[in-house]
Structure 1
Amino acid sequence: MRFNVERIRTDFPILNREVNGKSLVYLDNAATSQTPNQVIDVIVDYYRRLNANIHRGVHTLSQEATDAYEEARIKIQKHFNIAKSHEVILTSGTTHSINLVASGFSSYLSKDDEILVSAMEHHSNIVPWQMLCERTGAVLKVIPMNQNGELVMEDFHKLISERTKLVFCNHVSNALGTINPIEEIIKASHKVGAAVLVDGAQAAPHIKADLQALDVDFYTISAHKVCGPTGVGMLYGKEFWLKKLPPYQGGGEMIAEVTFDKTTYADLPHKFEAGTPNICGGIAFGAALDYMNSLGFDDIAVYEHELLEYATSELLKIEGLKIYGTAKNKTSVISFNIEHIHPYDIGTILDKLGIAVRTGHHCAQPIMDFYKIPGTVRASFSFYNTMEEVDVLVEGVKRAKNMLL
């Protein structure tokens, strides 16, 4: 087998942990992936050898740190096939990236302009647009979903019109694992002159998006979803839009010249990167993408699909268990409930068995409202999980059911 999971697991020291006296089975990858030694070593090396502020110093440490940070930007550019490195804005994560765009569009929307957002968005891709509508008088409309957890594309095509200015959709649903038809959404949106932002946070660990081929206007990800550190992420924006939008924050680094009469702004990407950035995080972000690419995204996708199919098959053998999100195209996420049992109670017992899953509405409360449930148990798998861990999960769910019913 080309994909040597046991060898890969040796790269992740946390997988050797015990939790509550049991070997850790980490199945909360949709929230945060684990970090391999190859990335941890880069973080340690930064603070041991390079720790200095960037872009501003003539001394050696500053220049070396600047070079490493900008090399990471190039790695991100190449990974996502972005045309120009200055179209890569380094942010604190997907939420920061989305809010940056929402703030910028305040000046370009008018009363009764329309914004479309999908029904399966993370709160981070709902709330900023609601706030934008409150500021501008624009109208928020929702692309509906069906019981399988798929967008109703016929309704999308009916909703979109010349009044539509912005369209927002996640590439992959964090709550259901659904892979959305973003190519169709982007193409239809551009026909009416609307800009499109795709939240790629959940897609990035599973899909190597080609942003030039997609022709998307904005794309966001967080490094901690792809084996990198927390507190750093990327906003891709087409040069046209990034030049048009005003800065999100004012401060050092984003200026060309400051006087008390007038301030002029720096060129891209620095126009949107005010203040001292997460330098170490940015460098480690690049290292994380190096690591993921060394494994191969095609091989990752094949293996994770095998995990998904096996886990789905085994969990569905448990009487009373229902899976939410049965789209034809989905990543390795299973959201489920057992009849008459609250998901929190299942998650609590699984934790006592050393199994880490996520319970609740997963920052996607409208999805739970659609299904009329309080939340789900979500098991999300990564390339370092094993079939044996799936078996442990299944036995843990059976034990929880027996204890709670």
Structure 2
Amino acid sequence: MLDIKQIRADMEGVEAKLQRRGGGLNLAALRDLDQQQRALRVQTEELQAKRNALSKEIGARKAQKADAADLFEQMKEIGPALKAKEAELKELDEQVQTVVEALPNTPHDSVPDGADENDNVEARRWAPGAGVGGEPTPLPFEALNHWDIGERLGIIDFEAGAKIAGARFTVFKGLGARLSRALANFMLDLHTGEHGYMEVLPPVMANAQTLFGTGQLPKFEEDLFKTQDDLYLIPTAEVPLTNLVAGEILEADQLPLRMTAWTGCFRREAGAAGKDTRGLIRQHQFDKVEMVQVVRPEESYDALEALTGHAEMVLQRLELPYRVVTLCAGDMGFGATKTYDLEVWLPGAGRYREISSCSNTESFQARRMKARFRPEPQGKPELVHTLNGSGVAVGRALVAVLENGQQADGSVRLPKALVPYMGGVEVLTPAP
């Protein structure tokens, strides 16, 4: 959530930043409400001043044992009028709050201009054996999509998932289930063992206040699965991890906080109608290893680079070609000030596809959550900065492993990093 004080101090500047996101964003409604508030506040303060003056005069007359009946009559008129103004002012305050809560974060100055994914800017790419700047090595045969590979290997059953739960649900079997678990365990071990994250196992359901804190509510309620107990299935572990500091005042030596979690994630809207209807790219239920950092404000952009590097290391260890793109202002998520997407190369699709999104939200989430830290002992608390990133999406990593590891005979060679997690299995072979 943006700072209403900052908006009022520089409404034109904030509006100009918001307009970089496109969609006709402006602060017209907020300007109108602000003018109404200012006028009403003046009227309220005038009535309060008049009431205080009358009260003082009544006291003086009483001290002199003089008649104050006329003043009491005036007080009777002021009381209801002041109460009505205060109620009206409270209602306006709530309207302002609602408008501010619906505003997205302002893009960082380094974010490129643009309307959609076509305007994103590639920052770098990497490929096994070639390193930074390298291109994926073409397969010497016609590449298959992951759904064909998975079905031939007997490890992915889309029909079973549809029978049990409907479209966009999948059953993993045998080595497919083990591969999914191996990927998640590999990622967790890398982040906890080398990148300094604390592993957390959070609930996969959250209340409305928690989802408000990270910005999913109220704007994206239609994208969420809601239970009959008014709890929501989490769309990402970012939600519970970030909210672990909600309402807290941390000491400076507690920062930075680095947390990671492997959870199921649930999203009702899995893309546009008719898009990615086959395969694992867009599912209602999927696994993801998430990374969250809570840091001092002056450290958040260095933290974003580090966090993105942690996600990149996952792909490098898995021997997967990828590229990093800086999202343009019009393609960023609601709470982000700057976002890097990692896109992995999929030979079967013949294109790069998003596998991780790493964002700095600055104080946007912290303000909603009331998450603060104390820069100095006994000092005034300040808002923390929060960052999040996929480290990475397990299902999409599985897709990339299958498509990049496929061989001409229908088998799939696994990355060396996964072999210990697969009980020594190096190659997946087609089911007999």
- TM-score for both structures, normalised by structure 1: 0.24
* Structure of greater Rg: 2
- TM-score for both structures, normalised by structure 2: 0.23
Higher RCO (Cα < 8 Å, 6 or more apart): 1
